[in-house]
Structure 1
Amino acid sequence: MTNNAGDEAALHLQDLLMGTENVEDFLGRLAEFSAAMLRQATGAEIECGVTLQRRRKTMTVTGSSPRAVVLDRIEQSMGDGPCIEALRTKSVVLLADVATDPRWPAYQEHLAAHGCRSTLGVPLEIGPDATAALNFFAPSTGVFTQGVINEAAGFADLAGRSLRLAVRIGIAQSRAEDLQAAMEHRTSIDLACGVIMAQNRCSQEEAMGILTKVSSNRNQKLRDVAADILRNLTGGDVHTHFDG
C-alpha cells in the first residue's frame, strides 16, 4: 500500500469509526470498504466477509453483501478454510484456485458451486480475548497477486488499529452507561432514605439501616426496595435523572 493510499485509507477508517455507534456497525462498514478497496485494486468483483473468533469459536458477523455473508458462512459450517487458517496462524492465507488447491476439497466444491474461484483470508488483531479476519472472495483466479496481497495486509493492519480503538470505545461506553445506571440507582436510594427520615424522624444512617433491613427481609435488591417506597409515595414510578 503506497503512502498516499495508506493515508487515504487511514482517514476513511477514522471517518468510519466516528460515524458508527457500535463495533458491529463499524465491522459492517469495514467489510464494505475493504471490498471496495480491493475492487479498485484488482478490477474484479471482490466481496468481503468478516469472521470473529472468541474462545476458539468462529462466526460470521457481517459482510459487504448478503452473498459475502453466505460465502463466509460456508467456511464456518465446514469448520476449516483459509479464513480460519488465517485466524489460527495470524498470517495471510491464499486459496488461489478452488479447482486445484488440495487443502480443503469439500469447502472448495461449495465455493465453486457459488461461483467463487479464489479467496484470501487476512487476520485482524483486536485484543487478547478476540480476533477477526477479513475473508475476500473473487469470481476468478489470478486476482490475488502478491501486490494485492501486500495491499490487503497493509490495509488490514490499519483496520486492526481502528478496530482495537472501536473495541476500547465500546468498552468505555459500556462502562459509562453502567456508571450512569449506578448513579441513577444511587439517587433513588437517597430519595427513599429521605422519605424514611421524614416519616420516622431519624438520621440518614438510621434510614439506610431500615432500608437495608427491609431489603434483606424481602430478599430484594436495595434499589428495588427504594423504588417501591417511592412508588407507594407518589402512586406511580419515579424516574431519577443523573447528568454525568
Structure 2
Amino acid sequence: MANNYVGDDAARHLQDLLLGTDNVEDFLGRLAEFSAAALSRAADADIDCGVTLRRRKRSMTVAGSSPRAVTLDRIEQSLGDGPCIEALRTNDVVLLADVDTDPRWPEYQRQLKAQSCYSMLGVPLEIGEDAAAALNFFGADTGLFTEDIIAEAAGFADLAGRALRLAVRLGTFQSRAEDLQAALENRTSIDLACGVIMAQNRCSQDEAMAILTRVSSNRNQKLRDVAANVLRNVTSKEVRTHFDA
C-alpha cells in the first residue's frame, strides 16, 4: 500500500517552490524534480519525471527531473504520439504499464525500451483554456504504477496544477510589470531628450517632440533610440526612472 504523499506536506513543498523561484521555467524544473522524488518515495523505486507543455496544438518538453527524463520525454514529442499526448488530448491519466505487451504505440515503446524504460504514466495538469501540461513519469521496470500509485500521481497533479496556474499568473504579472517599467524608462529618455532639444533650440516641448519624431522617421530608428543618442551627446551617465517611496 502506497504511503500518502499528497496533502498538506506536498502543498507546503509546492508553495515553497513558488516562493523560491524567479520565473515559470525555473518553477517547472523544480516541479519535475519534486514530482519525481514524491512518486519515487511512494513507489519505493526510481522514477523520472518530465513536464510537457502544449500550446496552440503543439506540445514540447519544457522541464525534467534529470537529463534522462528530458531525453525520455522528447522521444514522444519527436514521434507525435504516445501516453503523454493522449493524456493531454483526453485530460485523463494514461498508463503504459509494459512496453513489451501494450499494443498502442509500438515505435514509441521500442524507443523507450532501448533507453531501459519499461513503463510510463502520463498525468495531465489543468493550467488554463489556451494551454495544457502533463507530468510524465518513467519507470525502469514494469508493475511500478499500481492503482495506489496512480491515485497518488493524480492527487499530486491536482495540487501541482493549481501551483502551476498560480506560477503562470505570477509570471504574467511580472512580465507586465517589466513591460511597464521598460515603457517608463523609454518615456523618461524621450522627455529628457525633449528638454535637451528645448534648451538647445529655445523651442516649445511640442516643437522638440516634433524634431525627435522627424529624426526618428528620417533615420528609420525607434523614437527611444533617437532620444538615447541625444542624451549620450550630453552625458555619459545612465538615464533611469526613479520612484520615491
For the superposition of Structure 1 and Structure 2, which TM-score range results when normalised by the shorter chain?
over 0.9
Q: Deviations over 1:47-96 (max 9, x none)?
A: 11111111111111121111111111111122111011001111100011
Name the structure 1 match of 2:77.
76
Q: 1:2 to 1:42 in 2, by over 3 A?
A: closer
CA drift of 1:4 comes to 7.7
- Please give the alpha-carbon distance, in whole angstroms, between the structure 1 residues aligned to 2:45 and 2:3: 20
Q: Which amino acid aligns with 2:109?
A: Q
Structure 2 residue aligned with 1:24:
25
Judge conservation of contact 2:82–2:108 (CA < 8 Å) in 1.
yes
Cα deviation 1:139-158 (Å, max 9, x = unaligned): 22221111111111111111
Gaps of 5+ in 1: none
Q: What pairs with 1:98-177 in structure 2 (closer than 5 Å)?
A: 98-177=99-178
**Paired residues of 2:17 and 2:31 also in contact (CA < 8 A):** yes
Aligned to 2:9: 8
Give, in whole Å, the separation in 2 of the partners of 1:141 and 1:80: 21
Q: Distance in 1 between matches of 2:109 and 2:226?
A: 60
Query: 2: CA distance between counterparts of 1:187 and 1:87?
Result: 46
Identity among equivalent positions (%) equals: 74
SS across alignment from 1:77: helix
Query: Is the Cα–Cα contact under 8 Å of residues 5 and 38 in structure 2 kept in the other structure?
Result: no
Partners of 2:117 and 2:219 in 1: how far apart?
Answer: 62
Q: Which amino acid aligns with 2:69?
A: A
Distance (Å, rounded) in 2 between the aligned partners of 1:202 and 1:173: 39
| SS class of match (1:171) | helix
Give the aligned partner of residue 215 of structure 1.
216
Q: TM-score, normalised by structure 2?
A: 0.93
- Report the TM-score when normalising by structure 1: 0.93
2:129 is paired with a residue of what secondary structure? coil
Residues 11/243 of structure 1: CA separation in 2 closer, same or farther (3 Å cut): farther
Q: Does 1:88 align with 2:89?
A: yes
C-alpha distance in 2 between matches for 1:2 and 1:199? 76
Q: Provide the rounded CA distance (Å) in 2 between the counterparts of 1:18 and 1:224.
A: 37
**Counterpart residue type for residue 215 of structure 1:** S
Secondary structure, aligned partner of 2:233: helix
Q: C-alpha separation between the residues in 2 aligned to 1:77 and 1:180? A: 39
Equivalent pairs counted in the alignment come to 242
> Which deviates the most, 143-152 or 203-212?
203-212
| Deviation readout 1:152-196 (Å, 9 max, x if unpaired) | 111111111111111111111111111111111111111111111
* Gapped regions of structure 2 (runs ≥ 5): none
**Secondary structure of 2:7's aligned partner:** helix
CA deviation digits over 1:103-155, x for unaligned, max 9? 01111111122221111000111222221111101122221111111111111
